[in-house]
Amino acid sequence: MAVTIREVAEAAGVSTATVSRALRGLPYVDDATRLRVLAAAANLDYVVSPSASRLASGRTGSIAVVTPFIARWFFSTVLSGVEQVTHDAGLDLLLLGVGDPDRPSEVPTEQRLRQRADGAIIVALPADDPEVRALLNANLPVSIVGSLVPDVPCVAIDDAEAARKATAHLLNLGHRRIAVISGSRIGSIYTTQEHRYRGYCDALSAVGIEPDPTLVAFGQFTREGGEQAMGELLNLTLTPTAVFCMSDEMAFGASVALRRRGLVAGVDISLIGIDGHPQSEVIDLSTVEQPVESMGRFAAESLLAVLGLTPPPVRAPGLVSTRLVSRGSTASPRDGR
Partner DNA sequence: CGCTGCCCTGACACCGCTTGCAGAGCAAGA
Partner DNA sequence: TCTTGCTCTGCAAGCGGTGTCAGGGCAGCG
Q: Which positions lie near a second copy, rule CB under 8 A? A: 2-3, 45, 47-52, 54-55, 60, 62, 69-73, 75-77, 79-80, 83-84, 87, 92-97, 99, 106, 109, 111-112, 114-116, 223, 252-253, 255-256, 259, 278-279, 281-284, 293
Of 3 and 152, the one with the shorter C-beta distance to a second copy is: 3
Distance CA 334, CA 168 (A): 18
Distance from C-alpha of 325 to C-alpha of 285, rounded to nearest angstrom: 9
Closest to a second copy by CB, 54 or 198: 54
The whole-angstrom separation of Cα 146 and Cα 157 is: 7
- Choose among a second copy, DNA, none what residue 286 binds, the Cβ cut-off being 5 to 8 Å by kind: none
At its nearest, how many Å lie between DNA and the CB of residue 244?
52
Around 23, how many Cα atoms within 13 Å sit in the side-chain half-sphere?
A: 23
52 binds DNA (CB under 7 A): yes
User: What's 319's DSSP letter?
Assistant: E
> Is the Cβ–Cβ distance between 159 and 192 less than 8 Å?
yes
Would you call 251 helix, strand, or coil by DSSP?
helix
User: Binding to DNA by residue 13, rule CB under 7 A?
Assistant: yes
335 contacts which partner out of DNA, a second copy, none, CB within 5 to 8 A by kind?
none
Spatial separation of the C-alpha atoms in residues 21 and 167, rounded to whole Å:
59
6 binds, among DNA, a second copy, none (CB under 5 to 8 A by kind): DNA
Which span (43-51, 177-185, 215-223, 309-317) binds DNA, by CB under 7 A? Answer: 43-51
How far from 161 is each of 85, 198, 323, CA to CA, in Å? 29, 9, 11
Residue 6 or 337 having the CB closest to a second copy:
6
Query: Residue 257: what residue type?
Result: A
Name the minimum Å distance from CB 34 to a second copy: 21
Give dist(CA 282, CA 290) in Å, integer: 17
Measuring CA to CA, how many Å separate 174 from each of 147, 177, 248, 324, 335? Answer: 32, 9, 22, 17, 11
Q: State which of positions 198-217 bind DNA (CB under 7 A).
A: none
* Closer residue to DNA, CB minimum distance, 119 or 296: 119
> Which residues here bind DNA, judged by CB under 7 A?
1-6, 13-18, 20-21, 23-24, 27-33, 46, 48-49, 52-53, 55-59
